[in-house]
Structure 1
């Protein structure tokens, strides 16, 4: 009796056409309309009839950047401003070229992740945690960059920071000596 009831329920469900899946997306893509002043979670979508291959293409990541500058690096950015087809996807990419002993100055990535691939040479990378530790390992958007950079433990090398901020080492030493009493009790 129980097996007959099970088969009846199974046949009823099979014949009802019930589907267990997510509905399709509202659209396949949302290429940025850079001409529009309206911003909704990114740029407003370009008319799909005006989308072409250039909206999904960027030329230039294969070309080395000029590293003949004070920090010895060049960043080539690729985001929705360069490839309209990245709109609303939360994706960006950079190519960073370094001269020997060059660096990419300290910066933040709030609510973002960074993945590095070194093609040639050696790259020394450090991240600073946020309050209260300010440890030189990882980074977080919870804390200002000044406290994280100048108040890290262990301290970031003053020569690295002097080059990154293009100031004398004495300025960096002074700034590092000022950080940081925790007032978040």
Structure 2
């Protein structure tokens, strides 16, 4: 598969890798400029490194590109990856009480200046809500670091899925 990736045109490459980090075409473009890759692990390492070593402002923009969890009024605005991840966690099947709690938590969490971010794939609604309740009272710096960690986890899961399914 890596040979196929190395042969993609710039526009094809950017299309494939833009949503590894929620709508971050600049990361895909920077990754493109580091071709060719010896293997998928090298590609994965390099894209994660681009995010880790960028400025805090750019990291914050990526954090803010992530959608609120279980926001039924904005479900049509989700990227296909985010929709699939939230659906796999059952966030599209919340009760009215759960939707209400998610809305309250999402609104309260705005105090951090970015949305609550959690790699929800393979998690249940209860696990997600418990994590949300715990992190809502966190220190802003600790929470920023945790959000960055979660974005990297989401990106890693998306890369793994891309590698498993091929182009």
Higher Rg? 1
TM-score by length of 2: 0.23
Q: Which has the higher contact order (CA 8 A, sep 6+)?
A: 2
Decide which structure has greater strand share. Answer: 1
Decide which structure has greater helix share. Answer: 2
